[in-house]
Amino acid sequence: MLKLLKLLRDGRFHSGEALGAALGVSRSAVWKQLQHLEAELSLPVHKVRGRGYRLAAPLSLLEAQAISEASSGECWPVLIYDEIDSTNAQGLRAVDAGQQAPFLVLAERQTAGRGRRGRHWVSPFAQNLYYSLVLRIDGGMRQLEGLSLVVGLAVMRTLQAAGVTKAGLKWPNDVLVGDRKIAGILLELVGDPADVCHVVLGIGVNVNMQNADDVDQAWTSIRLETGQLVERNTLVAQLSANLQEYLERHRQYGFEALQAEWEQAHLWQGCPVSLIAGVTRVDGIVLGIDKQGALRLQVDGVEKSFSGGELSVRLRDDS
């Protein structure tokens, strides 16, 4: 089925006879594969008598060679999967199997993509970016301070360079356009943070997605914002370059050197918010973040700092 998809990915019409000849199957077998393509991958196929078949839109498939050619500097080793449960989960499995970090895991589709707080990450085939970078951290908790916020800066700059000029940050791990989510970040760590550990920087970016009935929050994509089909291999290369730059700055100077830049990009700076931790709710005004990346709130006239992966922040109705 994927061989057929690669023949159709240019978005042009191909006759059933030509497709059958290229695949070495009958026209009826081509028709059956097209039906599977639509049913299993939710990719609409247009059928026109006398012209043949074409995808509703051209498709950009991930390829290591194309990523390398689009990269201006050194590339991380990359593992690409047509389908996987989760790129983060595969990154952790690869570490257990002895894969040397750093390395990158990409997938065309995730069957069990994860967001923060156990949420499902909608992952349609070949439309978005499901990207997990695995790094080895040798000692020093300082290297982990504010790391998810540093990744957010790299993602935001990548989106802005792709034409999403209004992309901004929401503490701790979201990239928004206005009130609509365009990217999310999930960091997972294994090992001893005080000695040797591995951290997986999981990034999901809505790239070419235009419809998604099963997303449970306001969302957008690069294509919806720019009106342009995005070449995902180029986007991977640009994101990797930005990550290399920001991670190196973080390694050399710590998160404190990036604190002001992050605050300038924070869409909810100065806004009244509610911070939710389980059944506990704290209302306050966003003052910014501290040197470790914790959220600073003014609560009843007193400044307090909050951090933790299970925290959620929402704009208050009076904002």
- Residue 110 among known ligand-binding residues: yes
- Residue 284 among known ligand-binding residues: no
Find the radius of gyration of the CA atoms of the chain: 21
| Catalytic position from the list 109, 181, 223, 232 | 181
The three-point CA angle 153-95-202 to 5° equals: 25
Token pair listed for 113: 């993509």
Residue 117's Cα: distance from chain center in Å?
16
116 is catalytic: yes
- Residue 15 among known ligand-binding residues: no
- Residue 88 among known ligand-binding residues: yes
Residue 280 three-state SS: strand
49 is catalytic: no
304 is catalytic: no
| Catalytic position from the list 116, 170, 223, 232 | 116
Rounded to whole angstroms, the Cα distance separating 78 from 218 reads: 31
- Residue 115 among known ligand-binding residues: yes
- Pair 134, 102: CB distance under 8 Å: yes
- Residue 116 among known ligand-binding residues: yes
Token pair listed for 276: 């939710």
- Pair 146, 294: CB distance under 8 Å: no
| Catalytic position from the list 47, 117, 314, 316 | 314
Binding residues for biotin: 86-88, 110, 114-116, 181
Q: Which residues does the annotation mark as catalytic?
A: 116, 181, 314
